[in-house]
Structure formats: structure tokens, C-alpha cells
Amino acid sequence: MRIAAVADLHCPRTRDTELHGLLAEMAEAADVLLLCGDLTDYGRPDEARILAKEIGAARGLPVLAVLGNHDYECGHPDEVERILSDVGVTVLNGTPAEVRGIGFVGVKGFAGGYDDRALQPWGEEVMKRFVHEAVDEALKLESALAKVQTRQRVVLLHYAPVAATVQGEPPEIIPFLGSSRLEEPLNRYPVTAVFHGHAHHGSPAGKTKTGVPVFNVALPLMRQHFPDMPFRVFEVHTEHEHSTSTI
């Protein structure tokens, strides 16, 4: 199975004509499409309707998605999800899905920083709530991974689970681009690949501590590194073969 993944479409900042061409090209290259958050620019229902109209360029292929922080901006994430679901997009939020024998798991994730510099739940109540949001997203991810019965697990996030794929961003904002708490479940379960967005000026690829490949597929980053094909294509084999990234 060939998977095509991209994030940070920020519709309608990315014009509908460009979206149509991008989704059509992804559909030509793959069997499944993954959209890793910030699908809209402000989380408005009218923005989601524009994207939903362009989803038709996927030619009926399975499309799986997670929401990003921009999709929450106007306080209508449920409406954004409903609009996309109505055109056949499977929006994941702690629930697994299976496509042709491959298990897909998705959560938005959250911020908080990485490793020994990760923010800890100490001090003011607002700081504890911030950390607990990251912990809750990690627990949601772990619960979903535990429910997958297939040999191969593919994970969609918006926030980055490892620091490697946010390198290139200003150091001051790196703690707000993801959390290593999201990495912990990825190392406890057999995961084939992880895709995320959010870090527009990060790095295209990294790995977890156990060697799980992690791909930053933010559209601005993909345009910079791979202007001729601004999305990631990854091939997953279901029978005793290794998975390969083809860019």
C-alpha cells in the first residue's frame, strides 16, 4: 500500500486550485491519503467546506486526517470534523481505523518540549493544566495503539513527537511545536511510521529512540525540500516485507 501524507493545508490560505492539484497528484501517487492537521486556517466551517469540495480530487480513495491547532481557533472543531466526515474523510481522534489490513491511529497531540527539558506539571495550576493536556493526548494515542489488531501501525499527529523533525525552527518556539510525551507510546508498540505537521521550517525526517521513522509533512516544508512533489509517499507492505519511503 502506498501512502501519501501532507499537513498544514491552511485552507483557504492555500488556494482551492492549488489544493485540487495537490490532492489529485497525491491520489495518483498513492492508495491512501493522510492529512495531518491544520486543514483550515482559522477552523471556520466555510473553510472546511472549501476543502471538502476539493477532496473530490482524491478520486474516492480513503482519506484519513487529524485536526491541528488552527482547526480549533474559532471553536468549531466538531463542525469542521462533521463537514469533512460528510465527504468521506475519516477524522481520527484517539480512535483506530483499518484500511486494507493496515491499522491507522491519529491524535492531534500537544506541546510541552522534549526529553529532560520538557515542561513538568509543577507550580501554578495553569502550568499543570498545560502539561496534563500533553499527557492526555499521549494517553489517547496509547489507548488507540493498544486497540489495533493489525501487524502494521501507521500514526498521524499534528504536533511533533520528536525534536529531530522540528530542528530548523527558532529555538524559542521549539517547546511549542510538540512533546516527547507523544513519543513514549510510539516506543511501546510496534509502529511502522509516524507523520506529523505543524513545524513549517523544521526537518523532513527523524526517528524515535527505538528507530521508528518520523516524517514532518508540513506543506511549507515539503514545498521547500521537494517542490516537484510536495508531499511524502511511503510504501507499507503487509506481508513479510520492509516498508520504504520514496519521498
Q: How far is Cα 16 from Cα 37, in angstroms, rounded to an integer?
A: 17
Q: How far is Cα 244 from Cα 135, in angstroms, rounded to an integer?
A: 31
Q: Give the amino acid at 212.
A: V
- Give the model's pLDDT for residue 28: 96
Q: How far is Cα 161 from Cα 40, in angstroms, rounded to an integer?
A: 22
Q: φ, ψ for residue 80 (rounded to 5)?
A: -60, -45
Give the residue among 161, 242, 169 at the shortest CA–CA distance from 208: 161
44: its cell numbers? 471556520
- Give the model's pLDDT for residue 59: 83
Q: How many residues does the chain have?
A: 247
* Strand 193-196 relative to strand 213-216, pairing: parallel
- Give the model's pLDDT for residue 240: 46
141: its cell numbers? 494515542
Give the residue among 186, 116, 182 at the shortest CA–CA distance from 145: 186
- Give the model's pLDDT for residue 237: 82
pTM for this model (two decimals):
0.94
Q: Say if residues 23 and 9 touch (Cβ distance below 8 Å).
A: no
Q: φ, ψ for residue 186 (rounded to 5)?
A: -65, -25
Q: How far is Cα 98 from Cα 227, in angstroms, rounded to an integer?
A: 31
Q: How far is Cα 100 from Cα 121, in angstroms, rounded to an integer?
A: 41
Q: How far is Cα 192 from Cα 118, in angstroms, rounded to an integer?
A: 25
Per-position pLDDT tens, the chain of length 247: 999 999 999 999 988 889 999 999 999 999 999 999 999 999 999 999 999 999 988 888 999 999 999 999 999 999 999 999 999 999 999 989 999 999 999 999 999 999 999 999 999 999 999 999 999 999 999 999 999 999 999 999 999 999 999 999 999 999 999 999 999 999 999 999 999 999 999 999 999 999 999 999 999 999 999 999 999 999 998 754 455 665 5
Q: Say if residues 112 and 179 touch (Cβ distance below 8 Å).
A: yes
List C-alpha distances in Å: 37 to 10, 77, 123, 189, 220: 9, 11, 31, 23, 13
89: its cell numbers? 474523510
Q: φ, ψ for residue 29 (rounded to 5)?
A: -90, -15
- Give the model's pLDDT for residue 247: 56
Q: Give the amino acid at 150.
A: T
Q: Say if residues 6 and 36 touch (Cβ distance below 8 Å).
A: yes
- Give the model's pLDDT for residue 119: 92
Give the residue among 77, 8, 34 at the shortest CA–CA distance from 192: 34
Q: Say if residues 113 and 119 touch (Cβ distance below 8 Å).
A: yes
Domains parsed from the chain with CATH numbers = 2-245 (3.60.21.10)
